[in-house]
Amino acid sequence: MAEGLPKRPAWAQFDQDGRYEARSFSKAGGIMPGTYEVQIDCWKTLPDEATGRPGQSYVPKDWVAELVVPSDSSGPIVADYDVTP
């Protein structure tokens, strides 16, 4: 995270077209300046914690996203990811 700012995870849910808006804890969109490691979960079948059975993901196992580094400037940052299985 940027020096002097709190550490906050960010999250987003994407719609059927793949659009999303990252946010931290508030309902308003946006995240704190800093460096974010991206993880995308999109399940064909969910993991089953009761049985320990792993889920089946649409995201390829070897897929890795670039780091997202929003600065302290205002305005949107566009980060597009191709996770085609």
Q: In this structure, what token pair is assigned to residue 83?
A: 């996770």
Which pLDDT does position 44 carry in this prediction? 93
Cα 68 vs. chain centroid, distance in angstroms?
10
Per-residue pLDDT of the chain (85 residues; tens, 9 = 90+): 556 666 677 888 888 888 888 887 766 667 777 778 888 889 999 999 999 999 999 999 898 888 777 766 667 777 888 877 6
Which pLDDT does position 50 carry in this prediction? 95
CA angle 72, 30, 3 (to 5 degrees): 35
Q: Report how far residue 32's alpha carbon sits from residue 20's, in angstroms, rounded to the nearest whole number.
A: 17
Which pLDDT does position 55 carry in this prediction? 94
Q: Report how far residue 36's alpha carbon sits from residue 11's, in angstroms, rounded to the nearest whole number.
A: 10
Return the SS3 of 23. Answer: strand
